Amino acid sequence: MTKDAISKIQWARVMTVARTDLKQLAQAKDFWLPMTILGSLFFIVVPGILLFTIVSIGDVDVVAKISETLEVLPESARSQFKGDSPKGRTGYALSVFLLAPVAVIVPLTISTAVGAATIVGEREKGTGEFLAHSPASAREIYLGKLIASLVPGYITVLVGFGAYSLLVNLIVGPSAGGWFFPTAQWWLMILWVLPPFLAICLSIVLRLSARVSSTAAAQQASGLVSLPLIGIAYSQSTGVLFGAGYLPIVVGALAWIIGFFSLYTGMRSVSRSRLLTVASGV
Amino acid sequence: MVVQIQNVSRSFNAVEALRGINISVPKGSITVLLGPNGAGKTTAIRMITGALNPDRGTVRVFGLDPTTTDGELIRSKCGVVSAKPSLYDRLSGKDNLLYAAELYGIKSGETTTHRIKEAAAQFSIQDSLNLQVGGYSTGMKTRLALARAVLHKPELLLLDEPTSGLDPESAASVLEMVGEMTSQGQTVIMCTHLLLEAEGLADRIVVMEQGETIVDGVPDELSKVFWPNPTAEIVAQNGEDLDAITNFHGVISYNREGNIAQVELENEILLSDIILELSRHNIRLISVKPNKVSLEDLYFRIRKSSDLANSIACSYEEATELIGARQ
């Protein structure tokens, strides 16, 4: 791709494609309703019930035993524990090291679900024909689709973790010596590490979406792509993988570079012919 | 020429969709691509906008190559109605038009609103614009797709089976609109396998079969190739009275079934002479009608020549001459 070609990208068209895709998504109750339920379960319902139960039942044996099992976590993680009581320490540990990493699956699921369907979906519905004949370049279409896939994921990260923070701080905060979430590790995770990894995942998902023959196939394949990110979320939150120093910042920076490179090269995966409902081999 | 396709071939794996096709489309004309399903008509349309690139050959639209960066300019001057309406079912009719308006660079604000209203009114869907397209009937979807195609006032309109799924009334109004467009200087290329649809509308026809162009030309000129002499149908009260025609000067052939006779003449003027002569012999005529070659007649004659050419492995022109000689 030449520098000249890049400079010709018309961002108004990119935003038009993105806005229209998001508008369609907003109309798709059958998509966002289950996703909202999924988000509510992971960010609010399950953590709410679990943490409320732990802080409510007090210093019984069960909590003490859970507290003891937390000793298996690495020293870097254990050193972050807050709270003097077992229930405070347990609540803190579950909030930071168990429930929050699991919740990462939600934005990832939403973004990959949108991304997986975005190009192959146009082809399946026959609407790709309109885009293929339109003046929008393949790069503009790709970028528009990418933005439309990233936005729901990032909104979920902000809204979901916002609600989660409020919830855990209100329930566990009093037992853990005050508001504690997001921790420094999680601020890094949410604002610096998660976004580029989400972008990397999506660049792969969009390539898949442009190549496979059905939305179902794209979604199945994209499931594999999202697994490493869940692993990274666990590792980062406990400090096992990157430690608690400057390394996460470096890893995040590297992820941004790889993310941009991956998105840039991913532009080639979308061509006009791949938007058409034509025989294989296009 | 607005469109020039020369020796273009395109394959999808082992399937050859186009095999060295040649199509020329003059400005302000209606060119109808005729052919059975799978003839390559849709692929040819896709080549024109650059949605597909040819494996071999050249495509020039407005003198530009759609496979290069000029493709964007070409596409912005084209309006396309695909065989399927390719509309976004979850969006309203208005949002579908708005999407096209923005992609085709119509200035936002009042201009867009005005153009959307104008295009919707042209196809009588202005009252349904706020409804979700998923709830539209097939006819409404086609009309919305047509409104979307003309929204940016394209110089070249590419219509792929534009009347499929339409009721006869709507189909007629679409064809009328197509006719009007060329009077405004726009060029139209229309694919169809419905010959009646193209009748009287086509300035040029391109007959395609199995990815090849068999014929590209003006219907009247092509008719003269297959039927070089004018013919007429004469109906008399007593059919046997008409047999006298065989003795008249300038009659090339004469066939009678009952009281209906088909005559082939050296020229059209001779028909009035025949009527005078028959009247002089007190032969009571019921009707005299010069035969006009329909597009259907022409199409099937062309196809017959093509089949013959394939079966005896000769050129299409040789087969055409052979059919003429047999007649």
Tokens of A94: 């579950």
With an 8 Å Cβ cutoff, are A278 and B12 in contact?
yes
Amino acid of residue B111:
T
Give the confidence band of B120 by pLDDT, cuts at 50, 70, 90.
very high
**A9 inside 8 A of chain B by CB:** no
pLDDT digits (tens, 9 = 90+) for B250-265: 888 899 999 999 998 8
Residues of A in contact with B72 (CB under 8 A): 135, 137
For residue B225, give every residue at least 6 positions away whose Cβ sits within 8 Å of its Cβ, in sequence order, or none. B320
Distance CA B202, CA B225 (A): 17
Between A and B, how many residue pairs show a Cβ–Cβ distance under 8 A?
Answer: 92
Give me the percent of chain B exceeding a pLDDT of 90: 43
Determine the residue of chain B that is closest to A19 in CA distance: B99
Other residues' Cβ atoms within 10 Å of the Cβ of residue B317 = 11
Say which of A13, A276, A279 has its CB closest to residue B15: A279
SS3 A126: coil
Residue A257 has pLDDT above 70, yes or no: yes
Give the confidence band of B290 by pLDDT, cuts at 50, 70, 90.
confident
Residue A27 has pLDDT above 60, yes or no: yes
How confident is the model at residue B15, as a pLDDT? 86
Burial of A124 (0-12, 13-18, 19+ CB in 10 A): middle
Determine the residue of chain A that is closest to B16 in CA distance: A279
Closest to A118 measured CA to CA, from A235, A227, A203: A203
For residue B129, give every residue at least 6 positions away whose Cβ sits within 8 Å of its Cβ, in sequence order, or none. B92, B93, B94, B97, B116, B120
Question: What would the mean pLDDT of B157-178 be, rounded to a whole number?
Answer: 85
Question: What would the mean pLDDT of B273-288 be, rounded to a whole number?
Answer: 88
pLDDT digits (tens, 9 = 90+) for A1-11: 444 444 488 99
How confident is the model at residue A22, as a pLDDT? 95
Q: Which residue has the tokens 């003059």?
A: B26
Distance CA A258, CA A247 (A): 16
Question: What would the mean pLDDT of A109-116 be, rounded to a whole number?
Answer: 88
Q: Which residue has the tokens 């919830």?
A: A167
Q: Check if the beta carbon of residue A137 is closer than 8 Å to that of residue A167.
A: no
β B212-217/B231-236 pair status: unpaired
Q: What is the pTM of this model?
A: 0.82
Q: Check if the beta carbon of residue A138 is closer than 8 Å to that of residue A270.
A: yes
Residue A242 has pLDDT above 80, yes or no: no
Give the confidence band of B189 by pLDDT, cuts at 50, 70, 90.
very high
Residue B46 C-alpha, separation from nearest chain A C-alpha, in angstroms = 8
Give me the percent of chain B exceeding a pLDDT of 70: 94
How confident is the model at residue B149, as a pLDDT? 94
Q: Cα-flanking dihedrals φ and ψ of residue B252, to 5°?
A: -85, -45
With an 8 Å Cβ cutoff, are A135 and B104 in contact?
yes
Which of A215-219, B220-224, B268-272, B323-327 shows the highest mean pLDDT? Answer: B268-272
Complex ipTM value: 0.82
Residue of B162 and A232 predicted with greater confidence: B162
Distance CA A279, CA B13 (A): 8
With an 8 Å Cβ cutoff, are A280 and B104 in contact?
no
Distance CA A91, CA A259 (A): 35
**A273 inside 8 A of chain B by CB:** yes
Closest to A137 measured CA to CA, from A235, A8, A281: A8
With an 8 Å Cβ cutoff, are B95 and A279 in contact?
no
Question: Which segment of A229-238, B15-24, B85-94, B267-276 scores lowest on mean pLDDT?
Answer: A229-238
Amino acid of residue B203:
D
For residue A152, give every residue at least 6 positions away whose Cβ sits within 8 Å of its Cβ, in sequence order, or none. A22, A25, A35, A107, A110, A111, A114
How confident is the model at residue B104, as a pLDDT? 93
Residue B42 C-alpha, separation from nearest chain A C-alpha, in angstroms = 10
Say which of A127, A130, A279 has its CB closest to residue B13: A279
Residues of A in contact with B87 (CB under 8 A): 127, 130
**A23 inside 8 A of chain B by CB:** yes
Residue A279 has pLDDT above 50, yes or no: no
Residue B76 has pLDDT above 70, yes or no: yes
Amino acid of residue B258:
G
Residues of A in contact with B85 (CB under 8 A): 126
Closest to A17 measured CA to CA, from A257, A277, A280, A275: A275
Residue A242 C-alpha, separation from nearest chain B C-alpha, in angstroms = 44
SS3 A73: coil
CA A277 from chain centre, in angstroms, equals 31
Residue B321 has pLDDT above 80, yes or no: no
Give the confidence band of B7 by pLDDT, cuts at 50, 70, 90.
very high
Amino acid of residue A282:
V
pLDDT digits (tens, 9 = 90+) for A182-221: 888 788 888 888 888 888 888 888 888 888 878 888 888 7
Which of A126-135, B205-214, B226-235 shows the highest mean pLDDT? Answer: A126-135
Within 117-176 of A, beta carbons closer than 8 Å to B belong to: 125-130, 132-137
How confident is the model at residue A3, as a pLDDT? 42
Give the confidence band of B322 by pLDDT, cuts at 50, 70, 90.
low
Dihedral of the alpha carbons of B2, B6, B12, B15, in degrees to the nearest 10: 130
Residues of B in contact with A130 (CB under 8 A): 80, 82, 86-87, 100, 148
Q: Which residue has the tokens 């009334």?
A: B169
Gyration radius (Cα) of chain A, Å: 21
How confident is the model at residue B223, as a pLDDT? 77
Residues of A in contact with B105 (CB under 8 A): 135
Residue B259 C-alpha, separation from nearest chain A C-alpha, in angstroms = 54
Residue B177 has pLDDT above 90, yes or no: no
Give the confidence band of A268 by pLDDT, cuts at 50, 70, 90.
confident
**A271 inside 8 A of chain B by CB:** no
Other residues' Cβ atoms within 10 Å of the Cβ of residue B186 = 21
Tokens of B197: 């649809």
Residue A150 C-alpha, separation from nearest chain B C-alpha, in angstroms = 20
**Edge-to-edge strand ranges of the sheet holding B156-160:** B78-81, B156-160, B187-192, B30-34, B204-209, B212-217
Residue of B109 and B162 predicted with greater confidence: B162
Residue of A19 and B180 predicted with greater confidence: A19
Q: What is the mean pLDDT of chain B?
A: 86
Residue B252 C-alpha, separation from nearest chain A C-alpha, in angstroms = 51
Q: Which contiguous run of DSSP H or E holds residue A69?
A: helix A61-69
Q: What is the mean pLDDT of chain A?
A: 82
A39-46 long-range contacts, Cβ below 8 Å, gap at least 24?
Answer: A39/A106, A39/A110, A39/A156, A39/A159, A39/A160, A42/A99, A42/A102, A42/A103, A42/A105, A42/A106, A42/A160, A43/A103, A43/A106, A43/A160, A43/A161, A43/A163, A43/A164, A43/A167, A44/A163, A44/A164, A44/A167, A46/A99
How confident is the model at residue A280, as a pLDDT? 41
How confident is the model at residue A5, as a pLDDT? 45
Give the confidence band of B190 by pLDDT, cuts at 50, 70, 90.
very high
Say which of B52, B72, B99 has its CB closest to residue A135: B72
How many helices (H) and strands (E) are present in chain A, helices listed first? 15, 0
SS3 per residue for A225-243: HHHHHHHHHHHHHHCCCCC
Give me the percent of chain A exceeding a pLDDT of 90: 27
Measuring CA to CA, how many Å separate A70 from each of A65, A130, A174?
Answer: 9, 56, 20
**Edge-to-edge strand ranges of the sheet holding B56-61:** B15-25, B3-12, B56-61
With an 8 Å Cβ cutoff, are A129 and B50 in contact?
no
Question: What would the mean pLDDT of B153-162 be, rounded to a whole number?
Answer: 92
- Whether the CA torsion A146, A148, A151, A156 is positive or negative: it is negative
SS3 per residue for chain B: CCEEEEEEEEEECCEEEEEEEEEEECCCCEEEEECCCCCCHHHHHHHHHCCCCCCEEEEEECCECCCCCCHHHHHHCEEEECCCCCCCCCCEHHHHHHHHHHHCCCCCCHHHHHHHHHHHHHCCCHHHCCCEHHHCCHHHHHHHHHHHHHCCCCCEEEEECCCCCCCHHHHHHHHHHHHHHHHCCCEEEEEECCHHHHCCCCCEEEEEECCEEEEEECHHHHHHHHCCCCEEEEEECCHHHHHHHHHCCCEEEEEEECCEEEEEECCCCHHHHHHHHHHHCCCCEEEEEECCCCHHHHHHHHHHHHHHHHHCCCCHHHHHHHHHHHC
Question: What would the mean pLDDT of A265-272 be, rounded to a whole number?
Answer: 85
Question: What would the mean pLDDT of A253-262 be, rounded to a whole number?
Answer: 90
Determine the residue of chain A that is closest to B96 in CA distance: A20
Beta-bridge partners for B5: B23, B59
Residues of B in contact with A276 (CB under 8 A): 46, 51-52
pLDDT digits (tens, 9 = 90+) for A126-181: 899 999 999 999 999 999 999 999 999 889 989 999 999 999 999 998 888 888 88
**A1 inside 8 A of chain B by CB:** no
Which of A114, A133, A137, A139 is the best residue to mutate to test the B interface, defined by the most B CB atoms within 10 Å of its own CB? A133
How confident is the model at residue A47, as a pLDDT? 93
Say which of B17, B91, B103 has its CB closest to residue A135: B103
Measuring CA to CA, how many Å separate A79 from each of A51, A73, A193, B213, B321?
Answer: 21, 10, 22, 78, 96
Which of A4, A7, A23, A134 is the best residue to mutate to test the B interface, defined by the most B CB atoms within 10 Å of its own CB? A134
Which of A2, A32, A272, A276 is the best residue to mutate to test the B interface, defined by the most B CB atoms within 10 Å of its own CB? A272
Question: Which segment of A28-32, A275-279, B4-8, B73-77 scores lowest on mean pLDDT?
Answer: A275-279
